[in-house]
Each structure stands twice: as structure tokens, then as C-alpha cells.
Amino acid sequence: MALTPAGLLAQAAEAANQSTVSIPAYGSFPAPGSRVAIWVAAQVHLFFAAFVLGVPMFAVVAEAIGIFGNDSKYDKLAKEFTRLLLVSYSATAIWGAILSFGLITLYPGLWNYLARIFAPSMWVYVGLFFFESFTLYLYYYGWERWHDGRAKLMHWSLGILLNVWGTAVMFIANSWLTFMMSPPAEVVPDTAPEMVRFWSAFANATWMPINVHRMIANVVFGGAIVGAYAAYRFLTSKTDEERAHYDWMGYVGNMIAIGALIILPFAGYYLGREIYEYNQQMGITMMGGFMSWLWIIQAFLIGVLFLAGNYYLWVGMGRIPGAERYMPYTKWMLVVLVLGVIVWATPHTMIANRDELAAMGGTHHPFLGVLGVMSAKNTAVNLMILTTFLSFLLYRRANKRTVVSWARTGTMIQTVIFVLAAAIVLFYGVYGYFVTAIVRIGFSVYQVLAVLAAIGGVVTLDIMIMRGAESYGAIRWGQMPPRSQYALFILAVTFTWLMGLMGFARSGIRQHWHIWEVMRDTSEFAATPPLGYAAQVISWCVVIFLGLVGFIFWVGSLAEKPIMSHRRQDSLPPTDSRLASAPTGN
Amino acid sequence: MWQTNLKILLVVLGTIGLYTWVASAIPQVASEVPEELMFSNDVTANDLVMAGEQLFAGAGTCTACHGLGTRAPNLLTDHAGEGTIGQRCGTRVSGLDCKAYLQASMTEPAAFVVEGFPEMVFQARAFSDAQIWSLVAFLQSQGGEVTVTGDDMERAADAADGTSAPAEPSGGSPVAASQTTDARVLLQENLCLGCHAIDGAGPPLGPNFDDIGGARTAEQIRKGILDPSADAAPGFDAMLGVMPATFGQSLSATQLEAIVTFLAARK
């Protein structure tokens, strides 16, 4: 439409007459109330959605390894991943329907407003969901039929297509929720929804950061749930064959989860930065306002993840011949991780009343306050990431004997890269205390780049060093102590709980706004509750989700049992060094 | 088998219980909704101060920055040897008394940035006039005399209703409408001067009003006011999207033309 003065004035007058965001009407829900009902529906839907979006990503990668590496074990693993997916799909749709009906009946004003802006994308969403569902059916049920030659490649393409549909569905849904967080600046309370430009609302300030963050987090989450599934099957296995298979599957799930977790903080940093760019008040509310304690809980949870993930690897080295030579290092890695968690979980600038300030002797604790600043925390988390990467590296090398002539030199170069990266991280961590905040924030980029460069450089070298490596002996799959499997359960529960906590953070920073500074929440539940209350709701969501997942997996296993009992020998997991190196693509 | 299941259940529930306990054991801070304040004309200074204090320490989230000494100046304690905010507010800007300075600081934070600190992120449009004035009263009470009265709020409310000229300086909503057709008053009322400099003074966040008539035609100025996100003025690409797109609704056609004519003539 041409922008003439008369046209613009007419447009403005029409907008004023149509008026606008009226006070939303609310429905009611019996105890515990509308807010908790929507909260639980949204969170459980999100848990399932994250699982069914994350698993196809590594299922298709596993299938590719099977095809191009000519290794049928990976193909069977991919199919088993997809079987878990299939039975979880309907639960995702059911909880999506519960969420939609909940919004329509309990928050009709908000729903109406969003629908008037996003209606076209809602129809596209439904269409994509349809395609996604039927692509999944073809992908799973066609597995055995399209098993060889070109048909297999076509089948693999279906897996890729499944990921394309799923990602597009997620991107659309993300636009709705991120619009609530960061509506474009031109949208104000008086703006009629019809006057909001669709693309401006769709591709809002936090849309792409959330897309990136969720894609990675879905992989982490999917890996963790698959790991827990494998752990359960390991613990209840009747035969060594089954135990070996599920030990391997649990290892792969954990590798995927922890591997993706390592890069997740960088996506989180991107999201946080965009939130600050969009609205500093929102950023300060998130990091330094009433939510400041939430990040201490987050640090505690991520500390558990790092410790449990590394513990699983260290215990797993017990079943790898040749790993004994690396075992003495684990206690030092444990020391670094524990110190890292302690520093990361140190509070600093909290909202405090006068009594609390008096008790502390100031706004910061005289000693711990020094550790609570971002310089120390960034340093701690980067060193924890380096340490975890070192665990993976040692695990990968455990049963290999190098044959290349320059192996010793290569290992020394790797060591130098590690030391250099740690030195850069430490240098900027200490230097950060002597510069202004804005300069200090920039330092975290250098720290991250140093760690990423080290990971890339060391992996590249390792692939070259291990070329043609001999084996110290077969990995004894299935010979894992049961306690290692409980670490996988703790990982899955912690990832799930952490997702719930971050969901509360993302939604809670809107405070008493349905749509930030555009549509006010005038319901009786407008105030954002404290962490203790939120924790109870999150825990209920986690219990509901894990309960349903347990039931779904159990139902799935009923049909699968005869297959397992007739598993052929060629479906056993690999027992040589190929497996340990597989996740890094070697 | 059942023993294994029981162990798994205990590990899962124990982990969930641990996290719930930890999150419940830390200090519990909620984000309250700013209370809608209604004051009669004879409201006492004490009532205003009490309401302001509640807002300052609670839903206003002021303490997230003020009081830490790093993100924003201390208000309740001494800052840079100038005393508390009630003691220093009257001398911060020449020509503005304490009340006017505090009120303008909240409605036009970009105009009064304290040296050494970033611009305040307080969003005035999220608060009502009564809430802003109660905050002013509370801050005045920190070492100074409270001069806010019910009349201040009544004038602001009338200005928002369009029944009279606003209190000077204006408070509350950045798009509070009045009937005036004086372009300078309209620029002041609509907080344009929070971003645009005029008469050689003001922040350079948008095109300077002193010579805008030489750089932009009346048509371009009008379009820029009505649809500011459509196109950025030369050199201000980074600020695209910052200017509210509401003036087409809040200004009358006469007021809009008064502003356009006024600005187009400034060459």
C-alpha cells in the first residue's frame, strides 16, 4: 500500500476507532487455577515436543553412519530411536491440544489477540504438522521395505525431510511465544492487531536466538531421554546380549547429550545478549532482578550435569582395555569440575533488603563476592567445558595404540593447545577484574573462542594421530556397574528439570505482561511467583512427563520383545575402537 | 525386577525432590504487579511516600540497579559526596526544582543521564501517573522536602484525558494528548526532545531539529512521524524501530500539521 499522508492518516484513524487491546477476559480453572493449568500443559507439551524434535536429528545421523559406513548396527540403532519417537508423537499432539484448548478457554483475550496477528502462520503450522506426522509414519514403517540401494537413500531422505518439517513447525511456534517476549517497538498497547505487520511480529528480536537455543537443547534433551531409556533396559536386561546393546545405546545417548550441552551455553549467551539488546530492563530483571537467584539454581543443576556426565564416562573406562593409563587423571578432573561448580554457583549482586544487606556487611560478601562476578563464572564454566572435553578425549583414546610415527609429538601439541586455551581463559578471567563492565562482557567472547578453537584443533589432530591405530582389546560392552546407569537417570531428570526452570525464566521475565508492555496481565495470577513455588510446579511437570514417558516406552517394549529375543549376532554393538570414535565422525 | 524399578523410582524422585528443596531453601523473591494507585486531591505526603516506597522496593524493581552502586547511582544513600537523592535532586539541573527533575528523569531518562552510568532503563509507559508521582514523593523524602501534592496528579490525569494543559513538566504516558497546537509544546509533551536535540541542546538519538527542514521535506517529515519504522533518516539506521508509531493516533491532524510546518521551517 502506498504511503500517502491521507492514506496514513486514514489508517491511523481506523486503528484508533477499531481500538485495540481491550482488557483480556479470563476463564477459570479449579484448583490449582488457570495459571498452573496452562503452565503444566505448556511445559509437558514442550517436553514431548523437544523429545520428538531432538531425536530425529540424531536418528538421521545414525542412519547415515549406517549407510555410508556400511555398519548395520547404526541402522538398527536409528530405527530404535525412531520407534521411541513414534510412540511419543501422539502424546505431543495430545498435550498440544490441551494447551490450545486451555488458552482458548482460560486466556481468550490473549488467544484472540495472537490469532488476529498470527492466523496465517497457524494454518501453515497445522499443515506442516500433518506432513511431519505422515513423513514419520513413512520413515518408520518403511524402514525394512526400503532397506537397500537407492531405496535406502530415499528412506534416509525421508528422515531429513522429517527434520525439515519438525524444524519449521518449531520455528513457527517460537515466533508466537517470542512475540510475547519481544514485540516490535512499533507495537504499543493502542496498536490494533490488524495494524501489526506480520513479518515484523514473526521475526521479532528474540525469535532466531530462541530457535538456535531450542534446536541445540532439543538434541541435548533427546540424547538424555534416550540414555535413560537405555539405562532402564540395561538394568532390566535378561541376557548379556541385551545388556551389551543397551550399554552401547546409553553411551551414545550420553555422548549426544553432553556433546551438545557443551555448545549450549554459547547459544544461551547469544539469547541473553539479544534480550539485553531488545530491552535492558528485561535483561536486568532476568539477570539481576527478582530472577537473580534462579541462575544460582541453574548453576547447581548444570554442575550436576557435568559431574554426572563425566562420572559416567570415567566409570565406563573400566570396561575399556588400556584405559587404566588414564584413570589417575580423573581425580584431578574431578577437582577442576567441583571447583568450577562452586565458583559458578556463588551469588553476587542479589536483590536484598536492608536487613540482608546488614547481615552481609554490604551489597557483596567480602570474600565470596569476588567469585560471584561474571569474570570468575565465565572462567569456571569454560574450564569445566575444557575438562569435560578432555574426558571425552581420554575415553575415545582409551583402547587405542597409536601407530603413526609422530604420535608423541602430536599428543604434545594437543597438550599445548589445552594449556594455551586454559591460559587464555584464565588471563581474560583475571583481566576482567580491572576493566569496565562493557569491556569485560567482550572478554567472554575471547574465552569462548579459545575453548572452541581448542576443541576443533585437538579433535582434528586426534583423528590424524589415531589413523590406523591398533586396539588394546575389545570394549567389554555390557560390563558396566549398575551405578553408572543411575547416573544416566540423574542426567535425564536434571535435563528435564532444567528445561522446566529455563521455561519459567523465559516466560517469567515478562512479569505481569502477557505481551511485554503491550498487553497487561490483569488476572488474579498476574504476579510472577517466587522460585520455591515455581520449583513445585516444575517438579510436577517433570513427574507427569517422566511418568508418561515411562509408560509409553513400556508399551513400546511390549511389541519389541520378540525382536530382541531373536536378535542376530550381527546386530551386536561394535567391540573395537570404531565405536569409541564414532560420535566424533571418525 | 521390582527392586530395580523401586531403586530407579527412588533415584528419580529423590533427584526431583532435591532440586525442589534447594529452590525452596534460597531467598524467595516474587515479582509483584505494580498496584494501581488512586489518590484523592487531598492525599497526604505520607501516603504518597509510603506508596512510593512500596513501589520502589517491590514491583518497580528499582532496587535491581539502585543501591548496588555499580549499575546506577545510589539514591537512598550518599552518592559521590552529594548526599541522598532528596538532598541533591534540586541542584542536579539548573532551572529544574527537585520535583520537576525527578519526574522528568523518569519520563525522559535519556535526557538526564548521571555521568559514569548508562541511561536508565526504566520504562515510564509501564507506570501510571500516580505511580510516577508516588515514586517522586518517596525519593524527595530521602533527605528532602516532599512537595508532590494531589494537584500534580490531577493535572496529569486531566492532561491524559485532554481536558486541560498538562502539569509542567508533563508526567506519565509519553503520548499524553492535549489540545494545544503549539508545536514546541507538542514536541515537549510527546517527549520528542528525549531523543531529538533542539536549540543546540538535547540528546542526539534522532535527527537534530535545528536544521531538519534543510535535510527533509515536509512530506518526509510527516511520513517520518506517522510511520517512523518505514525508513530511517540518513545516519540513523541503527535507531530504526525506536520511535513510537503511535503519533498518527495520538495527534490530531491540526497538531500533526503544526509540528510538520514548524520542523520544515527549521533550516
Question: What pLDDT, in 10s, does the model give residues B101-133?
Answer: 898 888 877 777 887 776 776 666 667 888 889
**Closest partner CB to B227 (pick from A8, A356, A543):** A8
Give the tens place of pLDDT for each residue, A538-558: 999 999 999 999 988 888 777
A49 CB-side CA count, 13 A: 25
When pLDDT is averaged across residues A27-46 and rounded to a whole number, the result is 94
pLDDT given at position A502? 94
Q: What is the structure's pLDDT at B124?
A: 67
Name the residue among B244, B41, B209 with its Cα closest to residue B124.
Answer: B244
Reported as a single tens digit per residue, the pLDDT across B248-265 is 767 777 788 889 888 988
Percent of chain B at pLDDT above 90? 10
- Count Cβ neighbours within 10 Å for each residue of A35-65 and write b for 16 or more, e otherwise: bbbbbbbbbbbbbbbbbbbbbbbbbbbbbbb
pLDDT at residue B258 in the model: 85
Nearest residue of A to residue B230, measured between CA atoms: A3
Indicate if ipTM > 0.90.
no
Residue of chain B whose alpha carbon sits nearest to that of A204? B241
Determine contact: B113 vs chain A, CB below 8 A: no
- pLDDT of A13 higher than 50: no
**Residue A285 pLDDT exceeds 60:** yes
Q: Which residues 6+ apart lie within 8 Å of A245 measured at CB?
A: A477, A478, A564, A567, A571, A572, A573
Residue of A284, A350, A497 lying closest to B19 (CB–CB): A497
User: Which cell numbers in the block locate residue A566?
Assistant: 531373536
d(CA A393, CA B181): 73
* pLDDT value, residue A19: 45
Task: Please give the pLDDT value at position B226.
Answer: 80
Most confident of A164-178, A281-295, A370-384, A425-439: A164-178
For residue B16, the distance in angstroms to the closest alpha carbon of chain A comes to 6
User: Is pLDDT at B12 greater than 80 in this prediction?
Assistant: yes
Closest Cβ opposite residue B16 in set A186, A527, A542: A542
More confidently predicted of A534 and B247: A534
pLDDT tens digits, B129-171: 888 899 999 999 988 889 988 888 777 666 665 554 443 433 3
Amino acid in position B206: G
**pTM beyond cutoff 0.80:** no
CB contact under 8 A, B121 and A512: no
- Distance from the A353 Cα atom to the nearest Cα atom in chain B, whole angstroms: 8
Neighbours of A28 (CB within 10 A): 11
> How far apart (Å, rounded) are the C-alpha atoms in residues B80 and B87?
12
Nearest CB partner across the interface for B123, out of A350, A517, A534: A517
A3 — pLDDT class (breaks 50, 70, 90): very low
Q: Is B228 on the interface with A (CB under 8 A)?
A: yes
Q: What is the mean pLDDT of chain A?
A: 86
Q: Residues A314-318: what's their mean pLDDT?
A: 93
Task: Give chain B positions within 8 Å (CB) of A534.
Answer: 23
pLDDT (tens digit, 9 = 90+) per residue, A364-408?
A: 666 777 777 778 888 999 999 999 999 999 998 998 999 999 999
Half-sphere exposure of B232 (CA within 13 A, CB side): 11
Choose between B124 and B217: higher pLDDT: B217
pLDDT of residue B122: 67
B16 Cβ contact list (under 8 Å, min separation 6): A493, A497, A539, A542, A543
> Is the CB of residue B54 less than 8 Å away from at least one CB of chain A?
no
Question: B34-90: per-residue pLDDT in tens?
Answer: 777 777 777 888 888 888 888 887 777 787 777 665 668 888 877 878 888 888 888
Whether the pLDDT of residue A164 is over 90: the answer is yes
pLDDT at A15 over 50: no
Q: Is the dihedral of CA B230, B234, B237, B241 positive or negative?
A: negative
